[in-house]
């Protein structure tokens, strides 16, 4: 299998795809607009998902977990070696550790999460040398757009002017 080295244009392309899915999460399911896509080492889409924790009454159904579950099923393996996960919001600790266990190769996120971010903002679980696997991280891809989407969603939910 030939591995493709992702470019800045690839990162923006897949983040735009994730942002489109985040819009669907909000419109179709009234979920917090966070979405993720898993891309294989050749640069092909393996799986996608968005937050489902409210709809599914499942606290673990964050976008990253949904996308990784689907990716595992698609490739027939719980290890997602060589895959890149794009997510519109910096992963939380739960999602970060699931990525470590899945052996994700790279994570690209949009907006930072100053309250629970586990890819460098509050915690740095993906690069922690105590783990047997570390994940390359690129943050801030289309961060303004991702952050604005979340801000608008929460203002709408709280009844504040958008």
Catalytic positions, written as ranges = 64
Edge-to-edge strands, sheet with 35-39: 45-50, 35-39, 84-89, 106-111, 136-138
Are the beta carbons of 18 and 87 closer than 8 angstroms?
yes
Say which residue the tokens 């930072």 belong to. Answer: 112
**Residue 131 region by backbone torsions, left for phi larger than 0, else alpha for psi between -120 and 50, else beta:** beta
The answer to whether 44 and 113 are in contact (CB under 8 A) is: no
Can you tell me which residue has the tokens 């985040």? Answer: 22
Q: DSSP letter at 126?
A: G
Which DSSP string do the residues of 33-53 spell out, in sequence order?
A: S-EEEEE-TTS-EEEEEE--T
């Amino acid at each position: 299998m030939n591995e493709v080295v992702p470019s800045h244009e690839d990162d923006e392309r897949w983040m735009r795809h994730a942002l489109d899915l985040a819009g669907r999460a909000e419109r179709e399911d009234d979920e917090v607009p966070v979405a993720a896509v898993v891309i294989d080492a050749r640069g092909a889409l393996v799986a996608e998902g968005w937050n489902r924790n409210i709809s599914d009454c499942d606290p673990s159904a964050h976008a990253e977990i949904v996308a990784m579950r689907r990716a595992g099923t698609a490739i027939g393996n719980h290890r997602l070696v060589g895959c890149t996960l794009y997510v519109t919001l910096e992963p939380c600790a739960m999602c970060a550790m699931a990525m470590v266990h899945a052996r994700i190769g790279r994570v690209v996120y949009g907006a930072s999460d100053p309250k629970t971010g586990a890819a460098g903002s509050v915690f740095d679980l993906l690069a922690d040398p105590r783990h047997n696997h570390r994940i390359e991280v690129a943050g801030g891809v289309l961060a303004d757009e991702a952050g604005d989407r979340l801000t608008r969603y929460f203002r709408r939910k709280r009844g504040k002017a958008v």
